Structure 1
Amino acid sequence: MELDLAALNVETHKALSLVLLGAEGEVTDRGVIATEDIPPHTVIASIPLNSTISAQGLLDNVDEFSALSTFANTSSRITDDDLIAIAIILSRKDTGAGCDNAYLQRFNGFCMNFPSTFDSTIFLSPGSLPHNLLKGTNLLHSTMMLQNQIAQDHAILLKLLQDFAMVHSDMRGFFPTTSETFPLEDYVHGLFSVYSRACDLSMSISGRTAGRVRLLCPFLDMLNHSSSSKVFYEFDSGAVKIKTGDREIKKGSEVTLNYGPLTNAKLLLFYGFSLENNDYDDAELYVPLNPDLPLYKEKLGLLKKLDAMYDSTNSFRIKKGEDIPNTLLALLRLMPLTSLENVNAEEVITSENEFGVLNALESALQSMSQIISGNLLVVGDDRKKEEDTGMIAEYEKVRIYVESELEILSTALGVVRSGIAKLHSAESGLEECD
């Protein structure tokens, strides 16, 4: 279905054209192309706020959409993403009360224009080339966690809808209330329409600060990602304005947005693509602080003093081109201690302790690297036999991610081994002096 921007009062620059992208005979995406040069600091699109979909916008339309407003106010467990996802699901329905709602009908063309499927790793089939390539990686762990969380949220949301229908009999026909009318697949599609297409915008409305608002914004969601893009958007005079920034857009070039400093893992999980030479890439390392350790509370206090954002359940991120995180080194130094007297975990405590720290890191990094290397070899052989072009494309996206993570782990491993060598050298020098 072709999106009718005029019906949503969306104004776009005359030099913009929506086109299909990809090699000849193979459409891989769609994007916006400049049909002539566009100067810097030019407004290239204006989207009225009432033509965007947001949780607040849905709730503000009480007269037209009282069912959703009433439902949202009955439970604090309904998130903004859930509200928007439900609106998307209802607006895409061919029959039922939802599609007859005047407010939702406005967005029917917009929502029907969303992809029927998404390229996120959450949709990979177990046993497929890209899924096998992800085995043992943190991305597969994150993917499975998100799958489980979405399934749990769907079950909770379905129960809330059923309870609501029982209490509010006058609105019973508005929402789907069975697993047949509200299947998990619909919920996942609604959520990923939000995850992959929404923007978060700071705005003030009617003189009051609304803070960060999540919006689904017609036309803005058509712009693909580029790390070098200077195009930006902002809330201005009651509309979302897309502007060219301080750089001219040349005729024939694609108009893009910078989605932000995202790792390939996040790009694959939420957007379905990865980037070669992504400067924001990192490798995750899970080292939890066990509550059963001696002096657990004291050690936790020292780590929070070193890093106020430290959470004992979160992973550490080893970023491309950066040193091993100080908090990770401090944690490993503190773990085996039974006394914290005069301890400064930011510095080497003893040579013996530091050997333990670096050896533990070496073992963890080597283990992760071996898993990834093994996957690349085994699955790489299967890739040579694969004939499905779609599957090969998915494999290549994942390959970029795993090879980038392997590079980061290998670099960190080199740093750790260099530290071990220096310790050995220092120890040998002391022995010679003795």
Structure 2
Amino acid sequence: MAAVVARASVALCSSSSSRRCSAGDSSSGLASSSLAGPSSAAPGRKLGSSVENLLLCKIVRGAGKQKVGSRVAAGVAAVGGVRSAGVNVQNEKNGKQSTLQENEDAKLLDLKEWMHAKGLPQCKVQLLERTCFGSNGKPIHYVAANEDLQPGDVALSVPLPLVVSLERVLGDETLAELLTTNKLSELACLALYLMYEKKQGKDSFWYPYIRELDRQRGRGQLSVPSPLLWSPQELNEYFTGSPMKKVVLERLEGIKREYNELDTVWFMAGSLFKQYPFDIPTEAFSFEIFKQAFVAVQSCVVHLQGVSLARRFCLVPLGPPLLGYKSNCRAMLKAVGDVVQLEVDRAYKAGDPLVVWCGPQPNSRLLLNYGFVDEDNPHDRLTVEAALETKDPLYQNKRITVQKHNLSTIQTFQIFKGKERDAMLSMLPYLRLAHISNPEDMQAVGSAEGAICATAVSPCNERAVLDQLKAYFSKRLSGYLTTVEQDTVVIEDENVDPKKRVATKLLRIEKEILGNALTVVKELIEQLPNGTVAPCNGSYIPKLV
């Protein structure tokens, strides 16, 4: 703590020679493109009087900016007329210079060549280009096989000095563990670091990598950015009826909480504070810029196994988003000694794009994090939450019974695509118990050995359970604006907006899961011994969400 206070004191004493920071210009952050969680204020409470120094630092900077601002305003007014006289000629020159500069940059700063110059050993991959929606005609890169590959071949080995990790960003592994333990996410720290590095331009060690991320603009392999960057109108239009809109809004709230903690991260991280003593994050970068950088980092962060917390989440040049994701792939970037290595799990021909496993994530998470939907995803699922009615006179008996069977009074059920029947059968015992209104039935169930309500409690109880499920799935399906057949027409339209297409793919999968579940419930109703039996609906039925 003494060291932190000392840094603040030195910064205050040297205010006259400090550099002014950007006030949130969009060029200061990474261009637009798990996982943002709630941030904790615990680190801030540990700073004590150092927070006062941080506030003094802001005051000193503010006073300096007012003086400089008045001089700049006067200068702009003085040269205004001269500047406007030659604007047409200057624009023409600027256009030519911009084109020449882009060509020069493309020639000198190729990412793979830069990595080889910095220690990347020879590998079996190459960078190829493909066209991309929303890239203004400019192609984007992807990693492809440079030769024929067989399962088990090592295609790529990136030395640790070319990997961006918290250990490198914060300069101290203990501090990295402190920050992550206190719920300041690794993604926020990495995003903050890259925003500062981008401010350095070509002077940054990571300039070729940051330039590549800007070129990708966080678009997934279907050329679509994360819905976190979509407009409110697009969210409302494309996700009507879907739980995806709520997921996006909750993640945005989490990112906002991360943004509000950035000053604490900057102040506690020795490397960032020393390098940018007056560039306080929330003043240097607007929330929009941070959100764009966060989403860009989110789309390419790699989760390494078997390493320290400070290295667990990292950014690997030539990794994602240049590598594609596939749900049924088993190839992963792994830490092997002092390199991060990719061993392929399938055969590739030269020129084929390489893919890695994205983890057991449903398509809602893939779209949120990476901007794509994998229709072959074996992990795709929808969630149904069942809650016991707390006002039920039998609530306490039911609570004791479910807890005895390792269940909860608010129980979550997963409906996996293609396994809807299994999901319905797993939900029935819980809902049978929840629908019991007769104290005698409750006593019999509570004292029974073995699984909870493994068989029907009574014909009318069974009918009440199935009727509730039927109404629930029917209601969810009615919330969508289109049918599965209409969705297929949209997906097959080559001229449709890619955002709409990828959103429609997700919604079609959701509808298929819900439709299959509804079909299973109807079949179970038809199988009842007496289909005409009336449901015994009590006054305290469970809530399904």
TM-score (norm 1): 0.78
Query: What is the number of equivalent residue pairs in this alignment?
Result: 401
Find out whether 1:88 has 2:194 as its counterpart: yes
Secondary structure at 1:38 match in 2: coil
Secondary structure at 2:312 match in 1: strand
Q: 1:39 Cα shift?
A: 3.4
Matches of 1:232 and 1:178, distance apart in 2:
34
Q: 1:263 Cα shift?
A: 1.9
Identify the residue that residue 140 of structure 1 maps to in structure 2: 245
2:381 to 282, 285, 307: 282
Q: 1:302 Cα shift?
A: 3.7
2:414 to 313, 317, 329: 317
Query: Given that residues 232 and 243 in structure 1 are in contact (C-alpha distance below 8 angstroms), is that contact kept between their aligned partners in structure 2?
Result: yes
Query: Given that residues 135 and 375 in structure 1 are in contact (C-alpha distance below 8 angstroms), is that contact kept between their aligned partners in structure 2?
Result: no
Find out whether 1:11 has 2:121 as its counterpart: yes
Counterpart code for 1:160 = T
Matches of 1:213 and 1:345, distance apart in 2:
44
Counterpart code for 1:281 = D
Q: 1:232 to 1:153 in 2, by over 3 A?
A: closer
Which ranges in structure 1 are unaligned for 5 or more consecutive residues? 429-434
Q: 1:403 Cα shift?
A: 0.8
Deviations 1:98-140 (A, max 9, x none): x98xxxx433432332133541122222333x64131121111
Secondary structure at 2:497 match in 1: helix
Query: Given that residues 12 and 44 in structure 1 are in contact (C-alpha distance below 8 angstroms), is that contact kept between their aligned partners in structure 2?
Result: no
Percent sequence identity over aligned pairs: 22
Query: Given that residues 289 and 331 in structure 1 are in contact (C-alpha distance below 8 angstroms), is that contact kept between their aligned partners in structure 2?
Result: no
Q: 1:291 Cα shift?
A: 4.4
In angstroms, what is the RMSD of aligned CA positions?
4.0
Find out whether 1:342 has 2:444 as its counterpart: yes
Q: 1:220 to 1:172 in 2, by over 3 A?
A: closer
1:394 to 482, 493, 499: 499
Q: 1:301 Cα shift?
A: 4.8
Counterpart code for 2:160 = L
Find out whether 1:116 has 2:201 as its counterpart: no
Counterpart code for 1:337 = I
Identify the residue that residue 432 of structure 1 maps to in structure 2: none
Q: 1:251 Cα shift?
A: 2.4
Q: 1:259 Cα shift?
A: 1.5
Matches of 2:381 and 2:330, distance apart in 1:
24
Q: 1:153 to 1:290 in 2, by over 3 A?
A: farther
Matches of 1:6 and 1:260, distance apart in 2:
29
Identify the residue that residue 235 of structure 1 maps to in structure 2: 335
Secondary structure at 2:304 match in 1: strand
Query: Given that residues 302 and 314 in structure 2 are in contact (C-alpha distance below 8 angstroms), is that contact kept between their aligned partners in structure 1?
Result: yes
Judge which range, 329-338 or 132-141, deviates more.
329-338
Q: 1:300 Cα shift?
A: 4.2
Deviations 1:396-417 (A, max 9, x none): 1111111111111111001001
Query: Given that residues 189 and 265 in structure 2 are in contact (C-alpha distance below 8 angstroms), is that contact kept between their aligned partners in structure 1?
Result: no
Matches within 5 A, 1:160-309: 160=264, 173-174=276-277, 176-177=279-280, 179-204=282-307, 213-221=312-320, 222-229=322-329, 231-245=331-345, 247-296=346-395, 298-306=397-405, 308=406
TM-score (norm 2): 0.63
Q: 1:255 to 1:377 in 2, by over 3 A?
A: closer
Identify the residue that residue 464 of structure 2 maps to in structure 1: 356
Counterpart code for 1:34 = A
Query: Given that residues 364 and 506 in structure 2 are in contact (C-alpha distance below 8 angstroms), is that contact kept between their aligned partners in structure 1?
Result: yes
Secondary structure at 1:31 match in 2: strand
Deviations 1:248-292 (A, max 9, x none): 322232221122333221111111011234333222223344544
Q: 1:180 Cα shift?
A: 4.2
Deviations 1:217-274 (A, max 9, x none): 11122210234545333221221111123x3322232221122333221111111011
Identify the residue that residue 127 of structure 1 maps to in structure 2: 233
Deviations 1:351-382 (A, max 9, x none): 2222121111111111111122x245999799
1:328 to 422, 427, 439: 427
Q: 1:321 Cα shift?
A: 1.5
Secondary structure at 1:252 match in 2: coil
Matches of 2:314 and 2:266, distance apart in 1:
27
User: Larger Rg: 1 or 2?
Assistant: 2
